[in-house]
Amino acid sequence: MENNVYRNNMLKEFFIPTYIFVPESPVEHVSQIPICPVIVFINTKSGGQLGSNLIVTYRKLLNHAQVFDLLDEAPDKVLHKLYSNLERLKHNGDTLASEIHRRLRLIVAGGDGTAGWLLGVISDLKLVHPPPVATVPLGTGNNLPYSFGWGKRNPGTDRGSVISFLQLVREAREMNIDSWHIVMRMQSAKGSPCDPVAPPDLPHSLHAFRRVPKTDPQDMEYSYTYRGGFWNYFSMGMDAQVSYAFHSERKLHPEKFKNQMSNQKTYLKLACTQGWFCASLFHPMSRNIACLAKVKIMKKSGKWETLEIPESIRSIVCLNLPSFSGGLNPWGTPSKRKQRKRDLVMPPLVDDGLLEIVGFKDAWHGLVLLSPKGHGTRLAQAHRVRFEFLRGATDHAYMRMDGEPWKQPLPTDDDGKVVVEISHAGQVKMLATKDCIAKGIHESCQGISTVHPESSSSSDTDDDFEEERRNFGAALSFRYTGDVNKQ
């Protein structure tokens, strides 16, 4: 009995009354102000049945109104409505609303793509005090949860496991992590067979938002633009191709992908069949990154420079966090001598405004990550990265952002042009446990903001990308509407 009383009192520390979410609800008076009010977003499709089981447990322990199924309610609509109501209540002198606004923490349960979706929405809201986010590992890779100490194995869904997780959320510290903006612009002749990717096939935080004809009537080119953001990594090449095959198979046969261990075995089998282990037998040199695109980077100097990519590199990763492919660290820990030799400015930090760029030759090369000091081919650290695809090299490229892959069509005509640019776009707050492996300039933000050089202010900046850099495109107003001819 005493144990139940303790648990019930403890759960009040996380409880948010219904009227905070529903404007027309009567104001409720609570016996205590919650120490750690939380809003929970769960992707019930993630983790086989785990997502569905998890939402049942959370709704039993907390107010049903503060636990959301992402299949039913998008986080942008939920948070827009919540913050509008909080501002109204605060204006009317509601003390509880003010305290919830100040102390609010978010929990998101799903894969890295689901977590990225929520982080994109928070970025688009441009809040003065954005809520920090804890991640429940329900995906296959779970790089975000692992980086911040939440583990990489699927969690328990019973009452005791959820209460233990809530206690960790209450005790967790806040950390800043860099947000990275990605803009992809495709130009092709009118009538070109290269069409934009359908919205359901794009990552949550990437959106096609317009197709614009040039102002000159004689100019028959069209511009397709995609905009989005990531927090862990952007990759291109063979690793993204294997991931795309895995996601395509899972979409066709979801009943076969309910166990995390068997999912990882399936992933390994696909890596073999796609040629990731047997490149010379199945895939031509045109699949190598150097044959697909010219890569440019911008360092502290604020000037674009060409990054030399070895011809053997078949996959390239732009990494923000120290976890890739389920907890491996492609960058490793270079010695001070190697840092000086490669012009590397510092160890990888999650809030330094820099991406670590790593290359892989094949899956055998990737397996060196399993050794204590294993790492990929360290190519550079950069504030901005630009991929300029070579004309006619291929009709598509495989790309992946934070665990979500897609097959990107490329113009095959000589007049086509495709440019992908990645740039720093501020920061978001994550919650970290004592087991956190991510390192920051400041171990806890607690009101401290890290200052980064704004490379976009350089005179060498391409102004054509300025409009697209303003938002991640995760908010509802920037979603692809289906009619690409309308702006």
Q: Which of 87-96, 140-149, 178-187, 287-296 has the highest mean pLDDT?
A: 87-96
pLDDT in tens, 21-37: 998 888 888 888 999 99
Q: Which two tokens stand for residue 410?
A: 């490329």
Instruction: Report the greatest alpha carbon distance in the chain.
Output: 81
Mean pLDDT of 120-143: 90
pLDDT-wise least confident of 95-109, 277-291, 293-307, 436-450: 277-291
pLDDT in tens, 36-83: 999 999 999 887 778 999 999 999 999 999 999 999 999 999 999 999
Q: How many residues does the chain have?
A: 487
Token look-up 């799903």 returns 110
Token look-up 């590992």 returns 137
For residue 278, pLDDT beyond 90: no
Measured CA to CA, the distance from residue 256 to residue 406 in angstroms comes to 21
For residue 476, pLDDT beyond 60: no
The answer to whether the CB of 19 falls within 8 A of the CB of 28 is: yes
Measured CA to CA, the distance from residue 354 to residue 471 in angstroms comes to 19
Q: With b meaning 16 or more CB within 10 Å and e meaning fewer, what string describes 138-169?
A: bbbbbbbbbbbbbbbebbebeeeebbebbebb
> According to the model, what pLDDT value does residue 63 have?
95
For residue 225, pLDDT beyond 50: yes
pLDDT in tens, 324-341: 776 677 776 655 655 555
CB atoms within 10 A of CB 279: 20
Q: Which two tokens stand for residue 487?
A: 């702006």
Higher pLDDT, 405 or 465: 405
Higher pLDDT, 125 or 274: 125
pLDDT in tens, 334-372: 556 555 555 666 678 999 999 999 998 865 444 544 444
DSSP secondary structure letter of residue 62: S
Q: Is 5 exposed, middle or buried (0-12, 13-18, 19+ CB in 10 A)?
A: exposed
For residue 296, pLDDT beyond 80: yes
DSSP secondary structure letter of residue 152: S
Please give the radius of gyration of the chain, using alpha carbons only, rounded to the nearest integer. 23
> According to the model, what pLDDT value does residue 276 have?
43
Residues 6+ apart with CB under 8 A from 60: 159
Measured CA to CA, the distance from residue 449 to residue 445 in angstroms comes to 7
Outline where 283-343 has alpha helix (H).
289-292, 336-341
Residues 6+ apart with CB under 8 A from 251: none
> What is the pLDDT of the chain when averaged over all its residues?
78
